[in-house]
Amino acid sequence: MTAKVLTVTSGKGGVGKTTTTANIAVALASLSYKVVCIDADIGLRNLDVVLGLENRIVYDVVDAVEGRCRLRQAMIRDKRLPELYLIPAAQTRDKNAISPSDMVRLCDELRPEVDWILIDSPAGIERGFRNALAPADLVLVVTNPEVSAVRDADRIIGLVEAEEKGPARLILNRVNMNLVKRGDMLTADDVLELLAVELIGIVPEDEAVIVSTNRGQPVALDGKSKAGLEFQNIARRLNGERVPFLNLEEKDGFFARLGKMFRTGGA
């Protein structure tokens, strides 16, 4: 096995990098790939919480880099999926505790043993971002349909190109179809017109994400919510499958469902 290293980044904070990383990892692991997630957000670790593995951390990525433990010992196995592992970030250190070449070395050590290595990048464009970018084969840029998030995504895509890790691929997260319909939110076309990169996922705004994040149960574990379904689709697209984007325009109100029933009944 030779793993592909996928770095999830965004520039701006709070757009859903960690949630995206956790869900794509879960979705890839459900497709029976062997997946390792690395939390590169040292000092502000979150990925362990979102994956629900916080209480099992003994060693972290800095311990592994500094040789206080073997890499194996820092890998926490997820109990729900047999082939999903997490290497958590250290909470008591900062981004300078590791360097880009440490990350390259770490990933090279993992590469022969797994199928996918997912790196959750911290926000910003400084050391932490460079740590996360250094070993990447593929880069996913997460953005929201907001002007400020798109501006930061543009900057990040430029930096990824400059590091010759491009072309980055884009996930548009937290799209609220009601707002788009009212013309109050940027559409996917608006965003793509500016960023001009390949779109690999449009994830709708979904309350299920907040609930599941708080519980440490990523939505992609079951495909019941729309967001969960889209994350599963993204995982399939990453493996070269052609999966159409979800139709987000359906309303889930009572009358809409009633109307749909009649339409399907009539046809």
Partner 1 sequence: MITKTTSQDEKPDSKTGHEKNSGVTIKGIREGLLVTLGEGEWEGLQAQLLNQIEEKGTFFRGARMAIDVGNRILHAAQMGALRDRLSDREITLWAVISNSPVTEQTARVLGLATRLSTPKPERVIRQAETQLPGEDAILIHRTLRSGFRVSTHGHVVVIGDVNPGAEIIADGNVVVWGRLRGTVHAGAQGNEGCVVCALEMNPTQLRIANLFYVPPLKKKNKGAEMARVSKNEIIIELWNTK
Contact residues: partner 1, CB under 8 A: 99-102, 104-105, 108, 127, 130, 134, 151-152, 154-155, 157-159, 161-164, 194, 196
Angle at 264 between CA 259 and CA 266, to 5 degrees: 95
CB nearer to partner 1: pick between 115 and 154:
154
Cα separation, 251 vs 257, whole angstroms: 8
Largest alpha-carbon pair distance within the chain? 67
CB nearer to partner 1: pick between 155 and 251:
155
CB of 38 to partner 1, least distance (A): 17
3-state secondary structure of 130: helix
CB of 111 to partner 1, least distance (A): 12
Is cis: bond before 167, omega within 30 of 0? Answer: yes
CB nearer to partner 1: pick between 191 and 202:
191
CB of 91 to partner 1, least distance (A): 23
CB nearer to partner 1: pick between 81 and 139:
139
CB nearer to partner 1: pick between 39 and 154:
154
CB of 151 to partner 1, least distance (A): 6
Buried b (16+ CB within 10 A) or exposed e, 131-142: bbbbbbebbbbb
CB of 190 to partner 1, least distance (A): 12
CB of 193 to partner 1, least distance (A): 8
For helices 207-215 and 226-238, what crossing angle results, to 10°? 80
CB nearer to partner 1: pick between 64 and 76:
64
CB of 178 to partner 1, least distance (A): 22
3-state secondary structure of 35: strand
Going from the C-alpha of 186 to that of each of 143, 154, 177, the distances in angstroms are 11, 15, 10
Cα separation, 167 vs 140, whole angstroms: 9
Cα separation, 125 vs 123, whole angstroms: 7
CB nearer to partner 1: pick between 180 and 208:
180
Residue with tokens 């013309």: 183
Which amino acid makes up residue 79?
K
